[in-house]
Structure 1
Amino acid sequence: MTDDDVDADLRQCQDLMTKAYACQPSFNPLSADDLRRVTAIVRAPWTEGGPTMIRITEQYVGNYSTRIRIHYPDNTQILPALIYIHGGGWTIFSLDTHDRLMREYAGRAKIAVIGVDYSLSPEVKYPRAIEEIVSVVQWLRNQNSTELGIDLHRIAIGGDSVGANLAVATNLRLRTLNEPVLTAQLLSYGVYDRVRPELNSYKRYDGPKYRVTVAEMHYFWNNYIRDEQDFEDPLVCPLHADLHGLPPSFLAITECDILADENRAMAKALRDANVIVEEHVYAGATHSFLEAVKIAAISNRALDEAAQWLVHQLKTI
């Protein structure tokens, strides 16, 4: 693997982020709060620009008073929606770091996008984040469509990285509760299994230029789980869950990513469970590449393809 195999725009993005990180104070050891502050500063320029929303609202909802942010792209009276779960290893990032990404989906697909500000680890452990997201779904389903401006029968769920993990886990949990799963799943470079250093993608793409490393995945998993036994829970490692009955799924798979092999495995596992799958492998793409939409043509193409799929699944046109 050489740098030339990584998309040129994404290399530029990574170079700019590396320089930005170098300008931040060096903490030793780096606490979760320190890491959140630094990553928020570095990513702030990448959230600027993008589609303008006609309206953005925030409120605290559900059994855990979880903050949500709803992006409305236009004045359509009732819109289908995407519940969006941000990535960040269950430890970092926020609605703000992913605000542009949510607005991109809203603007391109002409849907409302509902960002969920779930509690981060290690302050809380599994299964708290899933419980909060499920509670948000239950709250949504009890609202008035006209008042909220959202068609409660056309709601998808999606996320990037561990956000994809939480999106699948939410549908699995809803199924366990004998509640309907959501209309569709939008899954970008997800985390679906524990660290698997024996996989080829783990061996080939372990390094900072590919945006997430094996050491970082160990750190994130240790923050999230209570103990090793949690790895046996299919809500933690959904690759090993019974996936029957889950909704149509779009998987954006990054070629240059330690998680590439488990994403391909997840696509296969979903198909084996008779789930309708649309799978896109983005050659030259690294983990978190959608955040480079400001400068990367490949990120724009991926967002367009995901938005077109959402339009089809939610029948917005």
Structure 2
Amino acid sequence: MAPQKIPMQPAYAAAYEASVAQKMLQKQMDIKQVREKYDEEGKKAASGLPPIVEDFKVIEYNDRSVPTYFYRPPGTEKESLPVVVYYHGGGHTFGSRHSHMQIINHLALQCNVAVVFPEYKLAPEYKFPNAHEDCFATLLYVLEQGSKEHCLDTNKLAIAGDSAGGNLTASMCYWAKERGLPADAIKTQVLIYPSLAPIPFKFASRDEFGDGDYPNARADFLFYRTSYFGQEQPKLGYPFLQTVEDLKGLPPALVISAEADFLRDEAEEHARKLVAAGVPTSCFRVLGAVHGYINFLPDVPSYKQSLSLIKFQLQDTFSKVK
């Protein structure tokens, strides 16, 4: 008897079935069209959100040029706010402030933080390490100029990201250590169904959810990986290759995995490695959730509860800062 498939929550199953962008991606259509469709769907998901304050700057830093958006709750323009640098998902090939406006808005308003959102360079036009270098340049800029230029409390700085953005988030923690940033520069990291391991690694979730019946199928994954990394498997780009010793001293972590997700097992195994490295780590699996759920359907309890986990992680971490 074949093993029973893990059920998706009905709301996510319906959304996946209706997603034009997912179907286009699985048919390997033009990446520019996919980007446009994901942005359209993100705008639709964000319609009706309460207003937030937006500022824009092209960061010229560390030999990089990165278009970056700064968001905060209305009325806090002169208030020094804790800051979350958010790295968006999209397989390093698509994604923008439009596709991720829902999570940007909710982080800013519900967590009372400023959200810094770099629109890093995308593959296949820009290969590794372009996105990583853009994200690190943004992190450096915020740490060194955020207080003076943008009224940010850089002593209370977190980084977060979903999917490929989770890869970038985990990578930035390691890069900060390797490049000599103060050990407490990043107060906490939030990894939402992160993409962490190279193609050859074997995980049960990759076998179970890779056939196209769920979002983020094996064909999608191979496209993302080869578009950005090519055949390279750099430790600086694949956090799963980092050893327990490498992970020692990294910021406290919140890891959120989706049960019906190709990337589930590598996310949870990375959390176990963080625990083994002595990093304070919490890991939660959302049953019936699918890859990408953080970007749509804000009324589904799983989304609200995930946001509550993130809010607690930020508030608990920042409350301990002297």
What TM-score does the superposition give when structure 1 sets the normalisation length? Answer: 0.90
Partner of 1:292: 296
Partner of 1:283: 287
Question: Sequence identity, in percent?
Answer: 23
Distance in 1 separating the partners of 2:50 and 2:186: 26
Aligned with 2:55 (options 54, 57, 74) = 57
How far off its partner does 1:276 sit? 0.6
Residue 70 of structure 1 pairs with residue 66 of structure 2 = no
> Contact between 1:80 and 1:316, CA under 8 Å: does it hold in 2?
no
Partner of 1:95: 97
Amino acid at match of 1:97: S
Evaluate the alpha carbon distance shift between residue 315 and residue 52 of structure 1 in structure 2; reply closer, same or farther with a 3 A threshold: farther
> Contact between 2:56 and 2:67, CA under 8 Å: does it hold in 1?
yes
Distance in 2 separating the partners of 1:123 and 1:146: 34
Amino acid at match of 2:179: L
How far off its partner does 1:64 sit? 1.9
Distance in 1 separating the partners of 2:272 and 2:34: 35
Distance in 2 separating the partners of 1:202 and 1:159: 21
Q: 1:55-109 CA distances to partner (integer Å, 9 max, x unpaired)?
A: 2111111232211111111434100010000000000111211112111111111
How far off its partner does 1:136 sit? 1.2
Alignment of 1:1-317 (within 5 A): 5-18=7-20, 30-53=29-52, 55-61=53-59, 62=61, 63-76=63-76, 77-143=79-145, 145=147, 147-180=149-182, 181-196=185-200, 198-226=202-230, 228=231, 230-231=232-233, 233-241=234-242, 242-315=246-319
> Contact between 1:204 and 1:258, CA under 8 Å: does it hold in 2?
yes
> Contact between 2:12 and 2:289, CA under 8 Å: does it hold in 1?
yes
Distance in 2 separating the partners of 1:28 and 1:204: 20
> Contact between 1:5 and 1:284, CA under 8 Å: does it hold in 2?
yes
Evaluate the alpha carbon distance shift between residue 128 and residue 149 of structure 1 in structure 2; reply closer, same or farther with a 3 A threshold: same
Evaluate the alpha carbon distance shift between residue 144 and residue 234 of structure 1 in structure 2; reply closer, same or farther with a 3 A threshold: closer
RMSD over equivalenced CA pairs, Å:
2.4
Distance in 2 separating the partners of 1:234 and 1:166: 12
Aligned length: 310
Amino acid at match of 1:275: V
Which shifted more, 9-18 or 213-222?
9-18
Q: 1:156-195 CA distances to partner (integer Å, 9 max, x unpaired)?
A: 1110001010111112112111112411101000011013
Distance in 2 separating the partners of 1:99 and 1:210: 23
Give the secondary structure class of the aligned counterpart of 1:215: helix
How far off its partner does 1:44 sit? 2.8
Distance in 2 separating the partners of 1:75 and 1:115: 20
Give the secondary structure class of the aligned counterpart of 2:283: strand
Evaluate the alpha carbon distance shift between residue 243 and residue 197 of structure 1 in structure 2; reply closer, same or farther with a 3 A threshold: closer
The answer for unaligned runs of 5 or more in structure 1 is: none
How far off its partner does 1:213 sit? 0.5
How far off its partner does 1:207 sit? 3.6
Distance in 2 separating the partners of 1:203 and 1:147: 48
> Contact between 1:293 and 1:300, CA under 8 Å: does it hold in 2?
no
Moved over 4 A (4+): 1-4, 26-29
